[in-house]
């Protein structure tokens, strides 16, 4: 244990961009402090700090048998080679630029329920607002987890069973708005076993997608987010407004507007065996480096004015 009541470990990681990965729209509970990125993985408080070629990992309790570290390693996507993944990207200008701009960005492997619930809350919300919602849900309905001495409290993301016992009004009070009945319905389906999140790990991606899409509030995009960010399905390719604009502008510049379905098909055949990774690189690239004006001015998806 160090001087601040936490147990310190390390994970070999190569260069790892914690901000891009933990604060880039995959997960919503990580906060940066002076000592590093703090969050909860499962029922464990964790603080991460990026060093030269490894990650410093601080835990609230000793990890005698290495189980905690193994879980965190998996969560961070360290059990696969980033270098090998990037080599499978097609050699085109947009992806080269995205790779250059996103060094050290990785895909996480989150817990399915937390990921699913978070993205049900995500529709038509900015990332900062999703973070607020997810934090409110955790504060009010999550179980407390152990934290280092002198550290403020922390809670796990609430279980499906706990959220299923909430009323729609209680969820609306967490700023969910029209998404409240969606989350309630999904929590109920998962709790009763109408949908088993465990069995989605086996079977084809399409089968898992169909199963997820039976849940209220879960369409193609949110299903693909869960498949990619929780189940590691690289053939999932979530197309949100940003990715849609990125694909249209970078791959069909000045051409007629491609429908969502067309972009979906293009992505499947163009980006190869790690399409999901490419998607996250494009998403992060256009958001972080091209920014908001780009989305306004060149948006081919922008709704045309009424009365015209």
Partner DNA sequence: AACCAGGACACAA
Partner DNA sequence: TTGTGTCATGGT
Distances 238 to 62, 104, 223, 228, 241 between C-alpha atoms, Å: 38, 21, 8, 8, 10
Determine which helix (DSSP H) or strand (DSSP E) holds 6, and give its type and residue range: none
Q: Is 122 in the site for DNA (CB under 7 A)?
A: yes
- Closer to DNA by Cβ: residue 2 or 307: 307
Pick from 14, 177, 272, 300 the residue near DNA by CB under 7 A.
Answer: 177
What lies within 8 Å, CB to CB, of 105 at 6+ separation is 17, 20, 21, 24, 280, 281, 284
Angle between helices 241-251 and 275-285 (to 10 degrees): 90
Q: Report 201-220 residues binding DNA (CB under 7 A).
A: 213, 215-220
Asked whether the beta carbons of 269 and 256 are under 8 A apart, the reply is no
- Report, in Å, the least distance between residue 287 CB and DNA: 7
Please identify which residue in 167, 259, 268, 273 interacts with DNA, judged by CB under 7 A.
Answer: 259
With tokens 């179980």, the residue in question is 143
Verify binding: residue 130, DNA, rule CB under 7 A. Answer: yes
Write the interaction track for DNA spanning residues 56-95; mark x where CB under 7 A is met and - where it is not: ----------------------------------------
Residues 102, 17: contact at Cβ < 8 Å? yes
256 binds DNA (CB under 7 A): no
- In sequence order, which ranges of 17-159 are alpha helices (DSSP H)? 18-22, 67-75, 82-87, 93-101, 112-120, 127-141
Nearer to DNA, 140 or 151 (CB): 140
Q: Would you count residue 261 as binding DNA (CB under 7 A)?
A: yes
* 31 strand-pairing partners: 38
Nearer CB in complex with DNA: 26/159: 26
Q: Is 264 in the site for DNA (CB under 7 A)?
A: no
Q: Name residues contacting DNA, limited to 9-28 (CB under 7 A).
A: 24-26
Report how far apart the first and last C-alpha atoms of the chain are (Å, whole number): 68
Q: Work out which of 64, 128, 149, 308 binds DNA, going by CB under 7 A.
A: 128
Count of residues of this chain found to bind DNA when the rule CB under 7 A is applied = 48
User: Site residues (CB under 7 A) for DNA?
Assistant: 24-26, 119, 122-130, 132, 172, 175, 177-178, 182, 213, 215-223, 225, 238-243, 259, 261, 279-280, 283, 292, 295-296, 299, 302-303, 306
């Amino acid at each position: 244990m160090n001087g601040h009541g936490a147990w310190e470990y390390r994970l070999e990681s190569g260069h790892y961009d914690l901000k891009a990965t933990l604060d880039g729209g995959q997960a919503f509970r990580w906060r940066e402090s002076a000592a590093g990125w703090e969050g909860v993985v499962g029922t464990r408080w964790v603080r991460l700090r990026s060093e030269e070629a490894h990650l410093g990992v601080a835990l609230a309790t000793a990890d005698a048998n290495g189980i905690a570290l193994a879980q965190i390693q998996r969560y961070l996507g360290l059990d696969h080679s980033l270098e090998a993944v990037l080599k499978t990207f097609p050699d085109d200008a947009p992806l080269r630029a995205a790779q250059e701009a996103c060094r050290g960005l990785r895909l996480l492997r989150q817990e399915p329920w937390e990921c699913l619930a978070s993205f049900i809350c995500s529709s038509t919300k900015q990332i900062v607002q999703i973070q607020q919602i997810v934090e409110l849900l955790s504060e009010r309905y999550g179980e407390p987890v152990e934290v280092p001495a002198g550290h403020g409290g922390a809670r796990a993301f609430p279980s499906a069973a706990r959220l299923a016992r909430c009323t729609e009004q209680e969820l609306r009070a967490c700023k969910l708005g029209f998404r409240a009945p969606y989350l309630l319905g999904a929590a109920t389906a998962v709790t009763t076993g109408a949908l088993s999140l465990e069995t989605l790990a086996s079977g084809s991606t399409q089968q898992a997608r169909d199963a997820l899409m039976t849940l209220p509030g879960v369409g193609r995009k949110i299903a693909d987010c869960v498949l990619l960010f929780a189940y590691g399905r690289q053939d999932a390719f979530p197309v949100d407004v940003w990715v849609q604009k990125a694909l249209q502008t970078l791959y069909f510049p000045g051409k007629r507007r491609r429908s969502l379905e067309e972009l979906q098909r293009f992505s499947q055949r163009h980006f190869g065996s790690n399409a999901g990774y490419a998607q996250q690189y494009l998403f992060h690239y256009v958001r972080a480096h091209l920014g908001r004006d780009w989305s306004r001015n060149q948006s081919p998806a922008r709704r045309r004015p009424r009365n015209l």
